[in-house]
Every structure is written in C-alpha cells, then in structure tokens.
C-alpha cells in the first residue's frame, strides 16, 4: 500500500492563516517587522528572499529588504546589523546565507541580537536548544520538521528517529530538539553521516527517518523499515530529463520507491520547504510579542 503523503503545503497554509489572525488580534500594539538582508546575486538566494517577502505580506508582517552587491563589505554589513538590532520597527533579522566570499558568516550571525535571531542560528539560541530551554528561537527547518513529525506520529515517546546529515542548520539542532523530554519530542535519536560506510545499518532501524544530507535520491527503498515515517529535507536542483536545459527540485529520498515501503512520507517540493518559511513567520510573531511584552 502506498504511504500517506505528509502535505507540508497544507500544514503551512493552516499555520499561516492562524498567524494572520493572530497578527490582526495584536494590531493595537503595531505590526511585526522582519528585516531581510541579501548580499550578492546568488540566484537561489534571490528566489528564497522573494518567497520570504511574499509570505510576510500575505499574513500582514512588514518586510524590509536590504539588498546590496557583493562589494558591500563585511564592515558595512556588521554596521547595518547593529542598526537593525536597535531599530524598534524590526523584530526579526534574517541575513540570507550563503554570504559571498570574503564575509565571515560566523561573525555576521553572532552580530545579530539573539532576541531578533528569527533564523535561530545564533549560538545562544542553539545553546538553549541543547539544554531544552524552549524560550528561544528554534531554527526554522528543524522546527518545521518537528511539527510535521508530531502531526503524523501522535505519541513520540521512545520512537527511534534516525537523522541522516549533521549540518548546523538541520541535523544537529533537530537531533537536540527531538531528544528533549517534552511531548513534541522524547525520542531516541541517532545521527548518521558521511563517515559511515553503510548508513542503511542505521536507517533500517528508524521509526522516523529524516533525510538531510543534500544528496539527491540517497535514501532507497531497501534502506527504509516498512511502516516508517520519512521526512525529506533535501532541496537538490538537478537536470530535468523531461525538460532539456531546465532544472528540477528533488529531495534526498527516492520518493516513488520509498512511498511503497513507508507508512508516511513528505514530498519534495511541497513538504519541508513551505514549513521552513512558515516557522520563520511564527518566529517573527514570537519576537514581536517578546519585544512588546505581550
Ligand atoms: N539559506 C538556506 N537556508 C536558509 C535559512 O533558513 N535562512 C537563511 N538566513 N539563509 C538560508
């Protein structure tokens, strides 16, 4: 039997419409504001920034774009971040990554006030995640994955989650979020990665398998335990054989084959992607409440 499809787009639409209502209910305090900073002309980053600005305007968040060429320079960027940290109309600051060569991403991320770090990349927010303090901003992609997992598997206690990939943006924070003792988590977590000669030893044990390796089609049907829940975080652009000269977006999972083995699976596109932007919006509303003592 074919797996249930975990429809990230549908879940995202539901959460976004609740956020839009929440923003209306908070309007006597003002409007949440998100600064979106884009340096250089990476085409994928330009698309993401456009999508983020559109998502803001759809639900009533004010977005403020700061776009500069590659030659803007780290010093100017750090000065801009300092101004945004002190600007009361700005509740969240997002610096689109990757930054061009010559910019120190670590330094830039650490310059953002942890209280405006709606991406959840600042070490202070990541540290709070490690100790299970939910009074912080959780990085958007793992946060979106956690919500999709919780909606699919009601009781997570003791479930074995295997995460393939150890990035600072997805694998490491998600592992720390899912291991905590709360009802959004309480899982047994394994993280496996490229140092393993045979990741199927691990993936076959997963009740919940999260593929976040950035490797198209890495997870094959014979690497998945029958009845597992599979979350595909991969966003890989590959040549589209049906449209010569064009690219298409594929995940880390061989979707067509794995959907015949899994109990539930998230597609690419239409899975984790829309959830990531939604959690950015949720974090921005959370920051607005925090800054206004609501
Ligand atoms: N580049 C790829 N994903 C992200 C993200 O979630 N936030 C930022 N700021 N940059 C990214």
> Of 104, 181, 175, which Cα lies nearest the Cα of 145?
175
The pLDDT of residue 79 is: 98
Nearest atom of ligand 1 to the alpha carbon of 45: 1
What pLDDT does residue 134 have? 87
Do residues 173 and 106 both lie within one domain?
no
Query: What per-residue confidence (pLDDT) applies to 178?
Result: 98
Residue 96: CB within 6 Å of ligand 1?
yes
d(CA 13, CA 85): 30
> Are 104 and 201 contained in the same domain?
no
Q: Which domain holds residue 159?
A: 139-273
Rounded to the nearest angstrom, the distance between the alpha carbon of 139 and the centre of ligand 1 is 9
Ligand 1 pocket test, pick from 52, 118, 119, 233 with the greatest ligand atom count within 8 Å of Cβ, gives 119
- Per the annotation, the verdict on 157 as an active-site residue is no
Considering the domain architecture, whether residues 193 and 242 belong to the same structural domain is answered as yes
Shared-domain flag, residues 88 and 192: no
H-type helices in 98-179, by residue range? 105-111, 123-130, 140-152, 171-179
Whether 128 is in a domain gets the answer no
Whether 50 and 102 share a structural domain: yes
The answer to whether residue 205 is catalytic is no
- The answer as to whether 181 is a domain residue is yes
Residue closest via CA to ligand 1's atom 9 equals 96
Cα(21) to centroid(ligand 1), Å: 26
Identify whether residues 170 and 48 lie together within a single domain.
no
| Res 268: pLDDT | 98
Q: 97 alpha carbon to ligand 1 midpoint, in Å?
A: 5
Of 113, 148, 181, the one marking the end of a domain is: 113
- pLDDT (tens, 9 = 90+) of the chain, 294 residues, equals 799 999 999 999 999 999 999 999 999 999 999 999 999 999 999 999 999 999 999 999 999 999 999 999 999 999 999 999 999 999 999 999 999 999 999 999 999 999 999 999 999 999 999 999 989 999 999 999 999 999 999 999 999 999 999 999 999 999 999 999 999 999 999 999 999 999 999 999 999 999 999 999 999 999 999 999 999 999 999 999 999 999 999 999 999 999 999 999 999 999 999 999 999 999 999 999 999 999
Do residue 159 and residue 60 come from a single domain?
no
Dist. CA 198–CA 291, nearest whole Å: 48
- Is residue 290 in some structural domain? no
Residues 159 and 208 in one domain: yes
Domain end (from 113, 128, 159) = 113
Q: Per the residue annotation, which of 116, 117, 119, 138 is the catalytic one?
A: 119
Judgement on whether residues 262 and 147 belong to the same structural domain of the protein? yes
Pairs from 9-13 (Cβ < 8 Å, separation ≥ 24): 9/270, 9/274, 11/147, 11/148, 11/151, 11/274, 11/275, 11/278, 12/144, 12/274, 12/275, 12/277, 12/278, 13/274
Tally of domains within the chain: 2
Mark whether 36 and 152 lie in a shared domain. no
Distance from C-alpha of 36 to C-alpha of 54, rounded to nearest angstrom = 12
Read off the CATH number of the domain in which 90 is found: 3.40.50.10860
pLDDT score for 1: 73
């Amino acid at each position: 039997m074919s797996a249930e499809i975990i429809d990230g787009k549908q879940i995202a639409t539901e959460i976004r419409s609740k956020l839009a209502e929440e923003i209306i209910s908070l309007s006597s305090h003002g409007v949440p504001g998100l600064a979106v900073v884009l340096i250089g002309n990476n085409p994928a980053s330009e698309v993401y920034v456009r999508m983020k600005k559109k998502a803001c305007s759809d639900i009533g968040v004010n977005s403020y774009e700061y776009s500069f060429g590659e030659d803007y320079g780290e010093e100017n960027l750090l000065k801009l971040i300092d101004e945004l940290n002190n600007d009361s109309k700005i509740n969240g600051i997002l610096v689109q990554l990757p930054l061009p060569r010559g910019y120190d991403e670590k330094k830039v991320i650490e310059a953002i006030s942890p209280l405006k770090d709606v991406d959840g990349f600042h070490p202070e927010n990541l540290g709070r995640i490690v100790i299970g303090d939910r009074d912080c901003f959780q990085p958007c992609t793992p946060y979106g994955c956690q919500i999709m997992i919780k909606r699919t598997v009601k009781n997570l206690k003791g479930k074995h989650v295997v995460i393939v990939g150890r990035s600072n943006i997805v694998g490491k924070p998600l592992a720390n979020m899912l291991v905590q003792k709360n009802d959004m988590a309480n899982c047994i977590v394994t993280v496996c990665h490229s140092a393993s000669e045979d990741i199927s030893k691990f993936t076959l044990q997963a009740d919940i398998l999260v593929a976040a390796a950035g490797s198209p089609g890495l997870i094959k049907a014979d690497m998945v335990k029958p009845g597992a829940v599979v979350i595909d975080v991969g966003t890989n652009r590959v040549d589209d054989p049906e449209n010569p000269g064009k690219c298409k977006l594929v995940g880390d999972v061989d979707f067509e084959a794995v959907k015949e083995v899994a109990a539930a699976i998230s597609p690419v596109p239409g899975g984790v992607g829309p959830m990531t932007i939604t959690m950015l919006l949720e974090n921005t509303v959370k920051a607005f409440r925090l800054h206004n003592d609501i």
